[in-house]
A and B are shown apart, each in its own frame.
Chain A
Amino acid sequence: MNKKFFSRTIVRIPLIIWSLAVLYPIFWMILGAFKSNAEIYANPWGLPDSFSFSNFVNAWSNYNIDSSVFNSFIVTGLGATLTLAMAIPTSYALERMRFRGNRLLFTLYISAMMIPMVLGWIPLFFLLMQLNLLDNIFGLSIVYAVSQLPFSIFVLTSFMATIPKSLEEAAAIDGMSPYGILWKIITPLSTTGIITVTIMNMIQFWNEYFMALIFLQTEGNYTLALAIDYISNETQYTNAWGTLFASLVIAIVPVIVLYAIFQRRIVKGMTEGAIKG
C-alpha cells in the first residue's frame, strides 16, 4: 500500500506541472489586462498593485473592439442558425429515408471533413466578390455555416439514429405530414444533439481567424479574432500590452462561460467529432 501511495505521488508531479503550464499563462494574461503598461514592464509576471479597467476602456473605445464584438456575435449567431437550418432536414433525410444515392451523398458530406479547404479559399474569395459578399459579415456567416455542415450532419445523423422509428410511424398514421414529423417530432427529440452541435459550431465561429482574415478587409467589419490580431501587430510598435491582454480577455470570457456551463457536452462533441476519421 505504501508503494502505491509513493507511485501516485510521483505521478502527481507531472500532472501538477502541466496544470500550472496551462493555468499560469491564462491567469497571468487576465492579470495583465488589469495592469498598467509600466507595471507590465516592471514586473511582467507578478500581481497588479491595483485593478484598473483602463485597458478595457482603451481596447473597447480606441481599438474598435466594440464593433468587432458585435460583428463576432452576429457571425456566431447567424452562422450557427444557418448551419442548423441546413443540417437538420438533410440529416433527417439521410438517416431515415431510402433513396438512390443516399450513401453516396452521406460519404460526400463526411469526406469533406478531411479535405484541406485552403485550396477552395482562393476561388471562394472571387465567388464572394462576384456575389457582393466579400468584406461582408453576412457572407462570412454563410461560408462559416457551410464549412461546419459536414461535422453537423455527422453528429446529427448519428444522434437521430437513436430515435425510435415507431414515433414517426404513429404520427404518420395520425395523418401528420412529413414536414410536421420533421418539425414537431424529430427536431424536439434531437434537442440534445442539436445543442451539442450548436455549441461546437458557436465556439468554432467565435474563434475562427483565417477565413475572416481572407474574406474581411475593412476594420469596421473585423471580427474579434481579426481585431485582436490587428492590436497584436500594433503592439510591436506601441508596446500597449495591457490593451492587448484586455482584448484577449474579452475574446476568451464567452468561451469560458460556455465551457463552464456545457463542459461535458463540449468534451463529448469534440471527441466524437475527432473519431469520425
Chain B
Amino acid sequence: MISPLSIIFWLLMMLMAPVLPGVINKTKAFFAGRQGPPVFQLYYDISKLLRKTSVYSETSTVVTRLAPLAILFSTLAAALLVPIAFRSAGLSFAGDIILLAYLLGIGRFFMVLAALDRGSAFEGMGAAREVLYSALAEPALFCGLLVLINETSQISLSGIYEKLTTEFWLENPATLLLIATSWMIILLVENARIPIDDPNTHLELTMIHEVMILDYSSKDLALIEFASAVKLAVFSSLLVGLVFSCQGMSVLVQLAVFVAGMLLVSIIIGAIESSIARMKLLHIPKFIVGSGALAIIALILKLSGN
C-alpha cells in the first residue's frame, strides 16, 4: 500500500524540515547585513532542549503534557499525505487533502487547549487569534484546490499534482500565478510568519504562535519546534509541487529540484519577512479573505476562458 520510496522521501523531508527555518533566518540576516545564526541552528536547539528537564505551571493538567505529542504526531501524519519530490504521496486516496487539513486541525485544537490550560493572561490571547485566522485560512486553501480539481478532474492530491505538467501551466500562466500567490499567503498565515505574526517578537501582546507556547520548556518545546518546522515543510511542499513540475524525469533529478524548490520557498519567506512589516491585527482577516479571493479570480478566469 505504502511504497518504500515514498517512506524514504517522507523521512528525508522530516530530516530536512528544521533546515527551512534556518534558511529563512539566514536570508533575513543577509538582508539585514548580519551574519546570522547557522542554517542548522534548529537542530542544535532541539538537541539541547531534549537534554533538559521540564518545568510546568502548577495550574497545568495532563493536556499541557499530552499536547506536544499530539501536535507532532498529527503533523507528521499530515506530511505523509503530501506528494514529495513529484512522487505520489505515501498515502493517497479520494479526498486526502481534507484529512490533511483536519490533521493540522487536531494540532491546532491541542495547541489552543494547552494555551488555555495554564490560565495565563497572554496565552489565551494567542489562542483566540490563532483559531480565528486558521478558520479563515482553510476556506481560502480549499478555493485554490477547487480550481485545481476542476482543471484536472482528480480529487486526490497525488492525482491532482500528477496532472499539473509544464505544458499545462504554459497554457494557464495566470491561474498558476494566482493560486501560487494565494497559497503562499496561506503558508504565511498557517506558519505564523510576517506579516501575520512575527516569530522573533518578544512582546507577548503582539504574538500569536509564540505566545501560545510561552510556558513550554525542554522536550515539549523541542517537539513543538520540530512540529512547526514540519508544518512549514508540508505547506512548502504543496507550493513546490504546484509550481514546479518534473514528471518523467529520474528520481535524483526530481529530488534535487524538490529540495531546491523547498529552499527557494524559504528564501522567499525570508525576503518577505525582511521587506515588509507586521500587519495590524485588524487587517489580517481581510488579508486572508483576500487570498481566497485570488483563488476565486483564478476560477472566474478559467470559466471565462472556456
Q: Do A and B come from one complex?
A: no
Binding site for A on B (CB under 8 A): none
Binding site for B on A (CB under 8 A): none
